[in-house]
Amino acid sequence: MVQMGVSRRTARGFSVQRLIALLAIALALGVISFLLWKTLRNPLETGLHIIRLEQLDTAAKADAELNQQIARGRLSLDSGPQELELSRDRFTVAQEAVSSGQASLAGLAQPIDAALAHYNAVAQSKLSLLNDYSAKLARLAQHFSVLRVAGISLLSAPSVNASEELRKNVMSILREATAYGIQSSPTNGGYIDDLGQEIVAAEEGLANDAERGAVRHLLNTVDSMRSAADQLQVLTEEFDAVPSGPALYDLRTAYEKHFYNLQSTARSYRQTLAVYAVALLLAFGVIAVRLRSSFSTLDSLNSELQNANVNLEQIVDKRTQALSKALDDLKMQQGQLIQSEKMASLGQMVAGVAHEINTPLGYASSNVEIVRETMQAMDGEVDAESILEFDTLLADTEYGLKQIAELVMSLKDFSRVDRSQSQLFDLNEGIETALKICNSQLKDGVKVTRMFADLPEISCAPSQLNQVFLNLITNAAQAMDGKGQICIRTSVVDDNVEVAISDSGSGMDEETRAHIFEPFFTTKPVGKGTGLGLSIVFRIIEDHGGTIRVESELGKGTEFFIRLPIVGASKSADVISEQDVVVLGDA
Amino acid sequence: MNMNVDTATEEPRARILFVDDEPRILIALKALFRRDYDVVTASSGEAALEILRQGDVDVVVSDQRMPEMTGVEVLRKAKDLRPRAIRVLLTGYSDLSAILAAINDGEIFRFINKPWSNVDLRSTIAAAVKASTVDYVKETVAAEEDLTERVHIPGIDDVGTLILDDDESTRNTLQRVLGRERSVYTASNLDEALNLLEQHKIGVIVTEIAVGGEVVTDLLAALRQHHPSLVAIVLTAKSDAEQGIDLINRGQIYRFLSKPVSEGLLRGSVNLAMRRFEILQKHPAQTLRLAAEATPTPPPESDRRGVFQRIGRLFGMTA
C-alpha cells in the first residue's frame, strides 16, 4: 500500500498521490497496532487464568476434602464437628471465589456461566445437605455418648456383674452398637437384634426394676442410635450423590475450552501479526530497494544534471556572447539606420529647400544683374557718388545671394540626393562640402588650414565619405573648445589616397584612444552624443576597403589618418554579374 | 495667362515661352529677355499648352516643380504640339526621375539650375534660338514595322552599334540582345572604343557612365563636337542626377537608361537611335538642333592618353 504510493510516481495529482500514501501509512499502522493490542492484551488474561485455575483447583480440593470429612464424620464423633466446619468454610470460600471473586469465572462466556450456575446450584444443595448431616451427626454423637453412659452404668450394676452372660451380652451390644454407628454400611444389625433378645431374656433375672429399667434404656438408646446412624447413612449416600465434582469438572472443562478458544484466537492473531509483520518487512524491503534504486537513479540524474548544468552554463555563456554580439550588431545597424534615415530625410528636406530657396534666389539675383546693367546705361543721369553707392550696394546684394546659393549647393552636395551611391569622386570636393556645412561650428578662433594635393577621383560612395569628413571635422572643432587650428591634408600614398585631419584640441589618453571606434563609446555628457559617430566612420572606411587610425597626445591634439584605395574599392557595392540585372526579358 | 506680344520691331523676332508658377520669375525673365525676343509667359502648364496650341513658339523654357503639371510633362506635350520648338528646363531642384524623363521623353536641349547667371542664360537661349531655326525632321516612322523582329542584313545594315562597358557580362548580354539586328562592336575602355570608331561606321554608341574609372561625359561631349551625328545612349546602374544634367548639357545624349532595362525598351531605344542617326546623316543641319555646350578644351596634361586630340583628328576630317 505504501509501495503503491511510492510506485505511483507518475500519478497526475501530486496531492492525491500524497493523500493516498498517507492513508496507506495510517492504515498499516492501525492494523499493526490493532494486532499488537490483540496480542499484548493476552498476558493479563493469562495472569487471571492461572488464578482461576488455582481457584478451580482449590474448589476441587475443598470439595474433595468436604467429601472426605463427611465420610469420616462418624469416625471422629468424639472430636466434634470442627474439621467439618473448617472444610465447609473452605468449600464455601472456594465456591465464592470461583463464582463471584475478583478472578471469578462469571461473565466470561455463556457456556461457562451455565456451568457455573450449575456448580453453584450443586454446591448450594450440598451445603444444605451438609447442614442436615451436621444435625444428624450431632444427634448420633449424642446417642452414642448416651449409649456409652448407659452401658457403663449398666455394667456397673451388681446384677449385671453377677451374670456373666448378661455382662458379656451388654459388652457385645455396646461394641456392636458402636461399630454400627461408625460403619457406613453395617452388617451387624441382626446380631445386635439377637443380642437385644438375649439381654431382654436375661432381664428377668435381674434383681430390681432399676436394673431392668437400665437395660431397657440401653436397648432403647441402641435402637435410637441405630436409627440415627441409618439416617446419617442415608444423608451420606445422598451427599455422595450430589455431583459437585462433575459440576466443577464441567466448569473447568468449559473454562478451559473457553481459555483454549481465547488462546487459539490469540494465537491466530499472533500468527496474523507475524505474517503481517513479515509482509510489512517485505514491503519495507521492497520500498528500501526501490528507494535505493531511486536514489541511485537520482544520483545519476543529479550528476547528469550537474553535467548538463555545466554544459548549459557553457551554452548559456556562448548564447549570451552571441546575443550580446547580435545586440551590438543590432545597435550598430540601428545606429546606421538612424544615420541613413537622417540622411534620407535630410535629402528630402534639402530637395524641398533647394527648390524653394533657389526660385526666389533665381529672380533676385537675375534682377540684381539687370538693375546693375541698367545702372550702367543710366550713366550720367545720376551723380557719380550715388552710382558708386548703388554699385556697392548691388555688389553686396549679389555677394549675399551668392552665399545663399553656395550654402544651398553645399547642402545638396552633402546630402547627395539623387546621386549615385557609388561614383568617381574627388575627396577634396567632399572635404570642402563638409567644411561648408559645419562652418557654423567652426568659430572665429578656429583656423582651418587646407593642404590639398591633386587627387585622382576614387570610386566610392561620396555621401558616406562626406559624412566621415563632417564627423571628423565636427569632432575636431568640439575638441578645441572654440580656439585652435584644424589642418586637413590630402595626399596620394602609393595606391591610396590619404586624408589627415588634425586638431590642436584636448587630445585623449591611451584608454580613450583604444575605444573610440567602438559603438556607443562617447566622452560627451549623456544626451550630447550618441557615441556612434566614430563607429560609423570606422564602418564606412572599412566598407570602402580603407583604413583609419588615430594619433593623439593628451593636451596637444589629435590626428586622424584615413586611407582609401584608388582602384576597385567599392566594386563589390554594385557588382553586375547576372545577365538579367543588365537586361530584363520582356514579360 | 500672361501674353505679351511685342510687335514693335520690324524683323521677326524669336518667340520664347517661359513657364513658371512663380510670377516673379516670369517678371525677371521678361525683364531680361524682352529687348531681344518676343517673350510670352505662362504661370501654369495648362496655360503654356494653350499658348502653344494658338501659335508657334521657338523656345520653351519651363520650371520643373509646378502644381498640377510638371515641367517635363509640359515639355513632352510641347514636343508633340510644336516639334520645332527647342525645349529647356529651368528649375531650382529636380529629382533623378525628372531628369531621366527630361532626356527620354522631353528630349530637352538644356537643363539649367536656378539661380542662373544672366550671362549664361542669355547664351543658352541664344543657342536654343539658333537651334530652333532648323526645322525638326521627324523619324520616318516606318509604319508598324516590327522593330523586334528585324534581322541583320549585312551590306544594308552596315551601320554598327558600339557598346562601351567595362563589365564583360554586360557586354556579352548586350551583344547577344542587339547583335541579331545589326553589327555590334564592344569595347571595354575608351581606347578600344576610339579604335572601333576609327575602323567601322558606327551610328549609335551605348555606354556606361564610367568606364575603367573614367567618366564618359567628356568623351561624349567631344564626340558631340566632332561627330555630331553619332547618337549616344547611356545605360548605367549608377544613375546620378548631376551627371545626367551634364550629359544633357554637354553630351546631348539621346537616351538615358537605368540598369536593369527591359529587352524591348533597349532594342526599341537602339532602333530609334539608329533612325535618328540616319536622319542626322541625311540632314546634317539637324545636328545644329543638338548643339551642345562647348566643352572647354581640356589642358593637355589632363587629356589622358590624348583621347580628345585623337577625337579631334579623327572626326575633324569626317564631320
* Residue B154 CB burial class (10 angstroms; 0-12, 13-18, ≥19): exposed
Q: What pLDDT band is residue A563 in, cutting at 50, 70 and 90?
A: very high
Q: Do A434 and A421 contact (CB within 8 A), yes or no?
A: no
Q: Are the beta carbons of B210 and A424 separated by less than 8 Å?
A: yes
Q: Are residues B183 and B305 both part of a single domain?
A: yes
B113 interfaces chain A, CB cutoff of 8 Å: yes
The minimum CA-CA distance between B144 and chain A, rounded to whole Å, is 19
Q: Are residues B78 and B194 both part of a single domain?
A: no
The one-letter amino acid code at A221 reads T
Question: Which residues in chain B have their CB less than 8 angstroms from residue A424's CB?
Answer: 210, 213-215
Q: What pLDDT band is residue A86 in, cutting at 50, 70 and 90?
A: confident
Torsion of CA A158, A163, A168, A174, to 10 degrees: -40
The one-letter amino acid code at A146 reads V
Q: Which residue has the higher pLDDT, A415 or A63?
A: A63
pLDDT (0 to 100) of residue B41: 96
Q: Do A552 and A515 contact (CB within 8 A), yes or no?
A: no
Q: What pLDDT band is residue A530 in, cutting at 50, 70 and 90?
A: low
B113 to chain A: closest CA residue: A358
3-class SS at A563? strand
Picking from B32, B214, B262, the nearest residue to A586 by CB comes out as: B262
Question: Which residues in chain A have their CB less than 8 angstroms from residue B261's CB?
Answer: 582-584
Q: Are residues B124 and B155 both part of a single domain?
A: no
Q: Which three cell numbers stand for residue B162?
A: 558600339
Beta-bridge partner residues of B255: B233
Percentage of chain B with pLDDT > 70? 82
Q: Are residues B193 and B285 both part of a single domain?
A: yes
Look up the domain containing B214 and give its range. Answer: 147-318
Question: Which residues in chain A have their CB less than 8 angstroms from residue B116's CB?
Answer: 362, 365-366
A585 interfaces chain B, CB cutoff of 8 Å: yes
Q: Are residues B156 and B265 both part of a single domain?
A: yes
Picking from B92, B170, B210, the nearest residue to A362 by CB comes out as: B92
The one-letter amino acid code at A318 reads K
From the list B36, B19, B38, B37, the residue with the least C-alpha distance to B90 is B19
Residues 6+ apart with CB under 8 A from A523: A508, A512, A529
Say yes or no to pLDDT of A261 above 70.
Answer: yes
Q: Which of the residue ranges A12-26, A365-379, A513-527 would you say has the lowest mean pLDDT?
A: A513-527
Picking from A364, A366, A579, the nearest residue to B173 by CB comes out as: A579
B279 interfaces chain A, CB cutoff of 8 Å: no
Q: Residue B148 to residues A256, A586, B138, B144, B263: CA-CA distances in angstroms?
A: 133, 11, 21, 11, 9
Is residue B179 a part of any domain in this protein?
yes
Q: Do B123 and B111 contact (CB within 8 A), yes or no?
A: no
Length of chain A: 587
Q: Are the beta carbons of B115 and A362 separated by less than 8 Å?
A: yes
B262 to chain A: closest CA residue: A584
Q: How many domains does chain B have?
A: 2
Q: Are the beta carbons of B264 and A420 separated by less than 8 Å?
A: no
User: Best-predicted range by mean pLDDT among A230-244, B108-122, B228-242?
Assistant: B108-122
Q: What pLDDT band is residue B43 in, cutting at 50, 70 and 90?
A: very high
How far apart, in whole angstroms, are the C-alpha atoms of residue A469 and residue B140? 54
How far apart, in whole angstroms, are the C-alpha atoms of residue A252 and residue A55? 10
Is residue B139 a part of any domain in this protein?
no
Chain B 79-98, residues with CB within 8 Å of chain A CB atoms: 90-93, 95-96
Q: In CATH terms, are A43-242 and A420-571 the same topology?
A: no
| pLDDT tens digits for range A420-478 | 667 778 889 889 888 887 887 777 778 888 999 988 888 888 878 888 898 888 888 88
Is residue B299 a part of any domain in this protein?
yes
Percentage of chain A with pLDDT > 90? 6
3-class SS at B254? coil
pLDDT (0 to 100) of residue A363: 92
Q: Residue A330 to residues A263, A320, A334, A538: CA-CA distances in angstroms?
A: 90, 14, 6, 16
Say yes or no to pLDDT of B299 above 60.
Answer: no
pLDDT (0 to 100) of residue B256: 92
Architecture of domain A420-571: 2-Layer Sandwich (3.30)
- Residue listed under C-alpha cell 568617381: A424
Length of chain B: 319
Quote the DSSP letter at residue A227: H
Mind giving me the DSSP string for B192-245?
HHHHHHHHS-EEEEEE-SEETTEESHHHHHHHHHH-TT-EEEEEESS--HHHHH
Residues 6+ apart with CB under 8 A from A281: none
Which residue, B132, B157, B182, sits at the end of a domain? B132
Residue A504's CB is within 10 A of a number of other CB atoms, namely 19
Chain B 186-245, residues with CB within 8 Å of chain A CB atoms: 209-210, 213-215, 237-243
Domain ranges of chain A: 2-40, 43-242, 420-571
Say yes or no to pLDDT of B132 above 60.
Answer: yes
B66 to chain A: closest CA residue: A355
Q: Are the beta carbons of A361 and B114 separated by less than 8 Å?
A: yes
Residues 6+ apart with CB under 8 A from A356: B92
Chain A 336-355, residues with CB within 8 Å of chain B CB atoms: 351-352, 354-355
Is residue B45 a part of any domain in this protein?
yes
B167 interfaces chain A, CB cutoff of 8 Å: yes
Class for the domain spanning A43-242 = mainly alpha
Q: Are residues B122 and B152 both part of a single domain?
A: no
Is residue B296 a part of any domain in this protein?
yes
Q: What is the CATH number of the domain that holds B205?
A: 3.40.50.2300
As for the ipTM of the complex, it is: 0.78
| pLDDT tens digits for range B155-185 | 555 788 999 998 888 888 888 888 887 889 9
- Regarding beta strands B210-211 and B59-62, do their DSSP bridges make them parallel or antiparallel, or are they unpaired? unpaired
Quote the DSSP letter at residue B297: P
